[in-house]
């Protein structure tokens, strides 16, 4: 992707939306209003669709109405790619920022795979069972990290590292516009700090080259120090932009 730019950021935004699709998406005044019946914020929030998006009073009202129609709270995702959003939301009484997240990129994919990591174009039964168990263990719903995967409409690669007969670490990446978007990285709590996540993601990135990836990007919670260290070690050394969420009061 070369040097960081707003164009890089919007390119990643588009790819990330395809890598983690909502159950339904409405176009509202230059915004993508994602509704999935609750669960993860990314598939239940409104995001700007591009650099031309604006957030005037009418658009805020339309976003609120779109969520009220399905009995969900209005949540707005605020990327730093588009200035001025927070000021508008402040005027409408939206709650303080939550879920600060970084978007980072890697321009060089690993040159070697890992025979000990299983990769494939679709998740097998063991991958799905492990993803469900890890989601619940982390305090999420059983379907929070499975439903978006079932809706994927772009090529993807799924990776799992198995130890002692069970999947201990997993991830997947969806590929669009030459970018591998890494998602759902998770390791069994009892098997952390053994290099399994690094092996899993490295093998995953290597495999994405076969379906058109030339670089990679991902989004990581700002306060997740161990994950950020892992991604730095894997070559994710470019910080593109940040985002957070703002929630309408009940």
> Is the same domain home to 81 and 163?
no
pLDDT at 134 exceeding the cut of 90: no
Residue 143 in domain: yes
Any idea what DSSP says for residue 141? -
Distance CA 131, CA 129 (A): 6
Range of the domain at 16: 6-102+243-247
> Is the same domain home to 93 and 143?
no
Q: In what order do the strands lie in the sheet with 215-221?
A: 24-28, 31-35, 46-48, 75-79, 238-247, 98-106, 215-221, 179-187, 166-176, 156-163, 117-120
Cα 185 to Cα 145, 160, 201: the distances in Å are 10, 10, 8
> Is the same domain home to 79 and 167?
no
pLDDT of residue 169: 97
Q: Which residue has the tokens 């990679």?
A: 216
> Is the same domain home to 14 and 96?
yes
pLDDT of residue 3: 44
Residue 184 in domain: yes
pLDDT digit string, tens, across residues 10-58:
999 999 999 999 999 999 999 999 999 988 899 999 999 999 999 999 9
DSSP per-residue string spanning 55-107: --HHHHHHHHHHHHTTT---EEEEETTSTTHHHHHHHTTPPPPEEEEEEEEES
Using a cut of 0.85, tell me whether the model's pTM lies above it: yes
> Is the same domain home to 128 and 76?
no
């Amino acid at each position: 992707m070369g040097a960081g730019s707003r164009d890089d950021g919007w390119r990643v935004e588009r790819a990330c939306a395809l890598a983690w699709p909502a159950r339904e998406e409405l176009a509202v005044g230059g915004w993508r209003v994602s509704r999935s019946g609750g669960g993860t914020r990314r598939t239940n929030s409104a995001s700007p669709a591009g650099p031309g998006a604006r957030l005037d009073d009418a658009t805020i009202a339309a976003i609120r109405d779109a969520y009220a129609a399905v009995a969900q709270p209005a949540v707005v995702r605020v990327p730093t790619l588009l200035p001025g959003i927070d000021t508008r939301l402040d005027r409408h009484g939206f709650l303080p920022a939550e879920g600060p997240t970084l978007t980072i990129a890697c321009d060089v994919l690993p040159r070697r795979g890992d025979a000990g990591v299983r990769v494939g174009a679709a998740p097998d039964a063991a991958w799905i069972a492990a993803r469900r168990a890890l989601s619940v263990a982390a305090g999420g719903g059983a379907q929070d990290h499975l439903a978006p995967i079932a809706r994927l409409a772009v090529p993807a690669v799924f990776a799992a590292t198995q130890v002692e007969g069970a999947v201990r670490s997993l991830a997947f990446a969806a590929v669009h516009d030459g970018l591998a978007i890494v998602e759902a990285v998770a390791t069994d709590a009892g098997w952390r700090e053994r290099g399994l996540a690094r092996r899993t993601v490295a093998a995953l990135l290597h495999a994405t080259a076969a379906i058109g990836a030339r670089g990679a990007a991902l989004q990581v919670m700002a306060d997740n120090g161990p994950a950020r260290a892992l991604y730095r070690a894997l070559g994710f050394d470019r910080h593109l932009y940040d985002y957070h969420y703002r929630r309408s009061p009940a």
